[in-house]
Amino acid sequence: MDYIGMNYILYFDYASLIVMVILLVSFCMIKHLDTIQNQILSVMLWGHLCVILMDIVNGLGPQWNIPGIHEILYMTHLIYFMVHNLTIFAFFFYCCCQVDFIFGRRLYIFALSFLPMVISFILMLSNAGNGWIFTVDENLVYRRGPMVLVVYLIAGVYVALSIALISVYRTKLTKLQLLVTYLYLLLCITGVAVQYFLPKLLVESFGMTVAMMLLFFTTAKFSDFYDQNFNVLNRQAFLHIVNSRINWLESSYIICLKVHDMQLYRLTMGKEFQEQLIRKIISYLYTEFPGANVFQYSNSEFVMIPKKKVKEKRISQVLDNIKEKFRETWQVGDNEIRCSFHVARFLYGVNEEISKPGQLREQLDYINNYSKIIENNVIETKDMKIGVAARKLLVQKLLREAVDHDGFEMYYQPIYSVREGKIISAEALIRLKNTDHGFISPEEFIPIAEQNGLIMRIGEFVFRSVCRFIKENNLGKFGIEFVEVNLSVVQCMQEKLHRQLLDIMGEYGVTPEQINLEITETAEATRMDAFQKNVFALTDEGIHFSLDDYGTGYSNINFLYKFPFNIVKIDKSLLWGAFENEKAMITLESSIEMAKRLNLEVVVEGVETEEHIELLKELGCEYLQGYYFSKPIPGKDFLQYVSSMVQA
Ligand code: C2E
Ligand code: CA
Ligand code: CA
């Protein structure tokens, strides 16, 4: 076809240009979520602008009498074709984002989808030599080449692919999104068709501009992803961004910070206080890691994702800084508080710890459950290498093996009497014998054993081992008056528990005053009748009880009155807290005072330093337990330790 003397009708292009510029300016001025979909949208906007400009130059150029105009026109035609196809190619990926199509698991499709594009680019780049697509002759006349249709067909391939994708996954789109996507495609097709048959009418870009406008106005609003109150991206935004990045094969670290006791702050200090604290934490996170997006995942959980790939070292540094920062107090209004926390890092990506956005919740729940172990600390990725479900299965398997093949061992931690100046008791603490998987804390495996019922057999092992230990070594000779044994909540709810324990004691000839059972108040929650029956039946036999973990729960006092306890064990967090804030100090003081007035003995756990001992002596605390004296150690070592203490 020949276009000599043709007068292009450019009005549509001028109108398109104005609209496109407005769209682009708005796009740049409005905040957007940092997703691939939005990046593609921006590529499409710039692409369209470029196509329109080229179209205008192509239309006006032949009338310009300037040197090099022939080459300029050749280039603008070429760029027109290339960018035109590129935007349709980009739209195909835009559709992939919309329906959350995961290339990660279908890499070959990803590779294949580039093929038509590559072919069209080769054709266009070789056009200078063969003129297959178009030529611009010495009179500046543009002529279509014999293969120009191929370029249009390739664009058509992406249109068809997009239609197929959208149709297959239409349930993932809202009605409006679906309508706009189809309209976009329809406008593109008709634009191209009209221009093909009526080449004078440069209407194609106008169709595309209208389509672009529709797309622009139906992309998710930033305000849906942003919490104005706290000035932070919300959980929705997190899910969106991670999803989009995983789908596009990106992998990166995420840092998750959990601040403990947020709910407690709200209850005790009020909503305003809690919100102010959250704002402080968020603004700290922004300054700590400016290169990251910060999200509020829940009231007490905050997530950071680096905007660009960063080295592991940078992540470690941020984690260290957070740890350092949380050592300090937070000034909120007139109050200064120190928050306990834990922080973890994960890798997300197709084959990483988090390969679906929902898995973060699982990982966080898992950590939150065991946060006692890792309070005020950083959780290393290596500890979290396997997913939650897999880890649980592994621990279950190890527990089963241990139950069947003598895989547990009892450790003993001495308890020191201030008055007598010697070790008078010990707490029995269970250990899973060294596994290939490193040390597994009872804090992790006891809850799992409670869930799958193994706890009864484990409990029996514990009690049997302790009774044997007392008898075989004649502990009384070492000045050990009794051994503390932990009972799990689930154990206490078994009707026959008291029978089982009494039978075992009978078997080894252990007397009731040689045993002290430790229970926690959480035991109260369910099946109260069985629980009560067990406690009273054992008390009737002369066995004493200790209330464990005092100071970590809520309704201790009530529980304390209800049952005939002899000992209150004050949790280590209360002791450690007393050195950090006045309120914890008052709580510790009054707890010890109250216990004494109720005629209860007090054991304080977590005694690690001379200062701890000084303070506790001053407060008149009678029994001390902690690493200062000894960590939990195997029975043999315990006996040696006690003998050496006696000699010293
Ligand atoms: P718990 O009953 O509160 O046990 C005290 C925990 O504090 C022990 O951890 C002990 O090693 C640790 N601890 C003692 N002094 C210090 C100190 O000065 N510094 C520090 N940092 N830690 C100290 P462990 O042995 O890991 O036991 C954890 C929990 O697992 C126990 O908490 C208890 O709830 C449960 N558990 C342990 N053994 C048994 C058992 O035989 N049966 C049942 N049902 N639960 C058990
Ligand atoms: Ca205990
Ligand atoms: Ca305890």
Residue 443 Cβ < 6 Å to ligand 1:
yes
Q: What is the pLDDT of residue 376?
A: 53
Q: What is the pLDDT of residue 396?
A: 86
Residue 554: pLDDT over 60: no
Beta bridge partners of 569: 603
DSSP run (H or E) holding 540 = helix 528-540
Ligand 2 centroid–CA 618 distance in Å is 24
Ligand 1 contacts CB of residue 605 (under 6 A): yes
489 lines ligand 1 (CB under 6 A): no
Q: Is 429 in the pocket of ligand 1 (CB under 6 A)?
A: yes
606 lines ligand 1 (CB under 6 A): yes
* CA dihedral (295, 297, 302, 308) positive or negative: negative
The CB of 195 under 6 Å from ligand 1? The reply is: no
CB 536 within 8 A of CB 497: no
Q: Which atom of ligand 1 is nearest to the CA of 410?
A: 41
Q: What's the CA-to-centroid distance between 460 and ligand 2, angstroms?
A: 16
Q: Which residue has the higher pLDDT, 586 or 467?
A: 467
For ligand 1, atom 23, name the residue with the nearest CA.
606
Query: Quick check: CB of 484 below 6 Å from ligand 1?
Result: no
Residue 271 belongs to what H/E stretch? helix 271-288
Å from CA of 359 to ligand 2 middle: 33
Residue closest via CA to ligand 1's atom 12 equals: 606
| Ligand 1 close to Cβ of residue 306 (< 6 A) | no
Give 328-370 pLDDT, tens digit per residue. Answer: 888 888 777 888 888 888 888 777 777 776 777 777 776 666 5
Decide: 590 and 557 in contact? Cβ < 8 Å: no
**Closest ligand 1 atom to 571 CA:** 3
pLDDT (0 to 100) of residue 643: 92
pTM of the model: 0.56
Q: What radius of gyration do the chain's Cα atoms show?
A: 36
Cα distance from N-terminal residue to C-terminal residue, the chain: 109
- Residue with the smallest CA separation from ligand 1 atom 19 is 606
Ligand closest to 488 (CA) is 1
Query: What type of residue sits at position 427?
Result: E
Q: Are 231 and 282 in contact (CB under 8 A)?
A: yes
User: What digits encode the pLDDT tens for the residues 47-90?
Assistant: 999 999 998 998 888 888 888 899 999 999 999 999 998 999 99
With a 6 Å cutoff on the Cβ, whether 547 touches ligand 1 is no
pLDDT at 372: 47
Please give the pLDDT value at position 452. 80
Distance 453 CA to ligand 2 centre (A): 20
- Identify the residue with better confidence: 354 or 44: 44
**Mean pLDDT lowest for which of 94-98, 418-422, 432-436, 481-485?**
432-436
Entry field: residues in the chain: 648
